[in-house]
Structure 1
C-alpha cells in the first residue's frame, strides 16, 4: 500500500511516512493509491469480530505489513482499552428506523478519542522505533484538542501544542484542554475562529524548513491515520444493526464541520460496505450543505452556535473528496484548490454535481431546531442528545425516506455542552471525570491569531525537545 498526494507532487510513500508527513509537502492531502476492496464473504467474516479485532482487520489493509502483526494488535488493544464501554462504540436504538452510534465512551467523552487514542499510541510507537522526537501541532474547534492531549500526554519523546478559538468552545471543552498540568503540553487560545487556527496550522506546515527543524507532526484530520481509525466504526455500526434486523443498505447521518468524519464513511462505502445515503448534518455554518445542494463551495459568514465543534467554514478534508469527484485527477484538484485560494470559491459542473448528490444528502440545522430536537427526543425516548448529535438526528428527520434505516453518529456526551442542554430546561448529571475539572487551575496563553506570534510560542515550547 502506497500513498499519494491529492495534488500529485509526492512520490509514493508508505504508511508510517504518511503518518509522519501529515499534510502533504505539496500542500495537498495524502490518500491511498488504491482503496482496498472488501468482498461480501470477507464482510460476513468481519461481522463476527469484536471492535478491536475489526479495527485490526481494516487498519491492516492500509498498514500493509509496515507494523508487525503482534505489535499492531497490541497498539490497537492499548488504544481502545481506555474506553468505558467494552463495545468501544455501542449502537443504541432510538426508534423504529433510527439508531445512534455512541462515539463518546473514550477518555474525553468525544468521538475524537476513537482516532486520537490510536494516533497518540501510533506516534509513541514510531518515536520509540526511530528515536525521533515528535512535536505535535494542531488546531481545534473544541474536541480534537482535549482528545489529542489525552492521547499523547506523558508519552516519552512527544510534545504538543493546541490552538483553540478563545471563548468559542464550551466550558467543559476548554477545561479538558487547559487543566492539564504538563510541561509537554502548550495551550494557545487564539483571538479568532477555528478557521483562523486551521489556516495558521497549514501555513506553518507548508514552511518545510520550520516543519523539519522542529519535527512537526499533524494531529488534525489532515492526517490520514485519523480518517482510517474513524472508518472502523462505520463497519462496526453496520454489523450491529444487521444483527438486529435484515438490512441491505444502511444510511448514516453525520454531524459535520471539517468533513473528516463523513469522509471516513465515504471511504468505508468505497471499500465495499453497503452504505446507502451519507447525510451531511451541519449547523448555520453550512458551506458543505450549500455545496451539496448547489455545487458551489464558498465560505459564508461565521456563526457561533449551540454546536461549536461544527463552527467551521473551510472544511480541510473536503479536498480528499474533491480528488475522487474529479476522477483522481491530481492536476485538476491542484488547479481547483489554487483557484479556491485566489478566488475563495469552487464551482463544479452539472455532471459533477449529480455525482455529489448521489454520494451525499445534506441539511443545515438552525439553532432553535437543534434545541427543539433535543427536547423532543428527550421527551419521547428519554435519551439526551448533545447539540451536535441533535443536528445529526434533525438532518435524519429532514432527509430520511420512509422505510430507510439510519444510524446517526453521536459525537459527544451531552455533559460537554451543558450550555445548550440548560436552554432546553433539562437537568443532567455530570460524569465524575467532568465534574472534577471545575476545581482545577487552568494553563493557557491568549494570543493573537498571528502566524508570527504563534511561531515564536512554538519555538520556545519545542526548543527544549531538540
Structure 2
C-alpha cells in the first residue's frame, strides 16, 4: 500500500513512513493511493468476528507488509483487549430502527481511544524497530489529548506535548490529560481556541527547525492517516451487528475535524452498503453551511456545551475535497490556499457530488439540551452533548426510516456534566478507574497562543 499527498508535491510513502510523518512536506494530508475492496460475500463472512479480529481484517491491507501480520494482530489484540466492554463497540437501540454505537468504553471514555490506543502501540513497535526517538505534538478540543497521552505513555521513545485551549475544555477532559504521570508528558494550555492550537501544530510540522534536525515531529491529530484507518472498522462492526451487509445502514456522525465521518465515507467506498451519511455539527457549523449553501466561510468560533466540536477549520475535509476534485493535487493546493484566506464557493458539480454523499444539520445548545432530556425521558438512556447533536441530525435529515440509523456515540456523558445538568438531569458518577480523578494532582503550563513561545517551550524540555 502506497500513500500520496492531497497536494501532489510530496514523496509517495509506505505505511510506516506515513505513520511517522503526519503532515506531508507540501502541506497536504496523506491518503492511500488505492483503497482495499471487500465484496458482499467477504463482508458477510466477517459477521461472526469479534471486534479485534474484524479490525485485523480491515486494517491489514492498509499496513501493506510494513508490520508482520503476527505482530499487527498482537498489537490489535492488545489495543482492544483494554476496553471495558467485551463487545468493544456495543450497539444500543433508542427507538424503532434507531441506534447508538457506543464508542466510549475505552480508557478515556471517548471514541478517540479506538484510534489512539492503536496508534500508540503502532508507534512503539516502529520506533523500537528503528531505535528512533521522536516528539509528538498535538492539539485537542478535549478528547484527543487524554486519548493520545493514554495511548502513548507506555512508549519509551517519545516526548509528548499536547496543546488544549485554556478554560475551553470540560473539567473532566482537562483532568484526564493533566493528571497522567510521566516525565515525557507535557500539557500546554493555550490562551486561545482550538483553531489557534491546531494552526500552531500545522505550522510546526511545516517548519521543524526548532528541533535542530535532531528529532522529528509525529502527529497524533487526525492528520495522521492511522487515526482514520482505525475508525473505519467500527462502521463495519455496527453494520454486521444489525444485519449488514444484506441491508444498508445510515450513520449520523458528530463532526468537528471531519475525520470520523471521512472514515465512514471510506467504509462505503470499500464496499460497505451505506445509505446515508449525516454531518452533525453544533453552532460552529461551517460544514453544515457548506453542504447547505456551497459557501465556505469562516466565522468566529463559539464556546458551546459540546466543546469537542468547537472547531472552525476541519482539517480532514481536505481529504474529502481531494476526492471531490478528482484527486488533482494542484487544483486542491490552490483551493486550500484560498479557503484559508477568503470565502470560497464550491464548483456546482462538486457541491452536487458532496450532497449526494452527505446530509447535514446543526444544533445549538438549547436543542442539544432538549435532545438529552427527551431521549432520557423516553428511554432512560443518557446521551453526551455531542451524541445528542448526532441524534438530532439523524432525526431531522433522515430520508428512509426503513434503513437503520446509527448515531455514533462519541463520548461518555460523565465527561460533560454542565451539559447534562443544563438538561435538568444528574450527571453520572465517574467509572471505577477514574473515581479519584478530582483528587489527582494536575500538571500543565499556560502559554500565550504564540508559535515561537510554544516551540521554545518544547525545545527547552526536549533538549534541556
CA–CA separation in structure 2 for the residues paired with 1:344 and 1:129: 45
* 1:433 and 2:436 correspond: no
Corresponding residue number in structure 2 for 1:275: 274
Corresponding residue number in structure 1 for 2:347: 349
Is this contact kept in 2: 1:135–1:216, CA < 8 A?
Answer: yes
Query: C-alpha deviations, 1:260-304, integer Å up to 9, x for none?
Result: 000010111111110111100000000000111111222112111
Q: Identify which range, 426-435 or 5-14, moves more after superposition.
A: 426-435
1:161-310 superposed matches below 5 A? 161-210=161-210, 212-242=213-243, 248-310=247-309
Q: Identify which range, 176-185 or 367-376, moves more after superposition.
A: 176-185
Alpha-carbon offset, residue 425 of structure 1: 1.9
Q: What is the SS of the residue equivalent to 1:221?
A: coil
Structure 2 portions without partners, runs of 5+: none
Corresponding residue number in structure 2 for 1:8: 8
Corresponding residue number in structure 2 for 1:89: 89
Alpha-carbon offset, residue 159 of structure 1: 1.5
Distance 1:413 1:60, change over 3 A: same
CA–CA separation in structure 2 for the residues paired with 1:206 and 1:410: 34
Corresponding residue number in structure 2 for 1:332: 331
* 1:137 and 2:129 correspond: no
CA–CA separation in structure 2 for the residues paired with 1:138 and 1:180: 16
Alpha-carbon offset, residue 397 of structure 1: 1.1
1:49-64 superposed matches below 5 A? 49-64=49-64
Is this contact kept in 2: 1:154–1:184, CA < 8 A?
Answer: no
Corresponding residue number in structure 2 for 1:154: 154
CA–CA separation in structure 1 for the residues paired with 2:214 and 2:337: 27
Q: What is the SS of the residue equivalent to 2:94?
A: strand
Alpha-carbon offset, residue 450 of structure 1: 0.5
CA–CA separation in structure 2 for the residues paired with 1:210 and 1:356: 39
Q: What is the SS of the residue equivalent to 1:258?
A: coil
CA–CA separation in structure 1 for the residues paired with 2:403 and 2:447: 48
CA–CA separation in structure 2 for the residues paired with 1:247 and 1:95: 21
- TM-score, structure 1 normalization: 0.97
Query: C-alpha deviations, 1:373-400, integer Å up to 9, x for none?
Result: 0000000011000000000001111111
Is this contact kept in 1: 2:208–2:216, CA < 8 A?
Answer: no
Distance 1:103 1:155, change over 3 A: same
Corresponding residue number in structure 1 for 2:364: 366
CA–CA separation in structure 2 for the residues paired with 1:320 and 1:345: 19
Corresponding residue number in structure 2 for 1:387: 385
Corresponding residue number in structure 1 for 2:101: 101
**What is the RMSD of the two structures over their aligned residues, measured on CA atoms?**
1.2
Q: What is the SS of the residue equivalent to 1:31?
A: strand
Distance 1:346 1:46, change over 3 A: farther
Is this contact kept in 2: 1:281–1:362, CA < 8 A?
Answer: yes
CA–CA separation in structure 2 for the residues paired with 1:19 and 1:172: 29
Q: What is the SS of the residue equivalent to 1:92?
A: strand
Query: C-alpha deviations, 1:139-185, integer Å up to 9, x for none?
Result: 00000000000001132112100000000000000000011221110
Query: C-alpha deviations, 1:171-229, integer Å up to 9, x for none?
Result: 00000001122111000000000000000000000004446532210000000000000
CA–CA separation in structure 2 for the residues paired with 1:154 and 1:6: 32
Distance 1:346 1:36, change over 3 A: farther
Is this contact kept in 2: 1:25–1:208, CA < 8 A?
Answer: no
Q: What is the SS of the residue equivalent to 1:87?
A: coil
Alpha-carbon offset, residue 440 of structure 1: 1.0
Q: Identify which range, 165-174 or 289-298, moves more after superposition.
A: 289-298
Alpha-carbon offset, residue 454 of structure 1: 0.1
Query: C-alpha deviations, 1:78-131, integer Å up to 9, x for none?
Result: 111110011111111111111110000000001000000000000100111000
Corresponding residue number in structure 2 for 1:42: 42
Structure 1 portions without partners, runs of 5+: none
Is this contact kept in 1: 2:208–2:217, CA < 8 A?
Answer: no
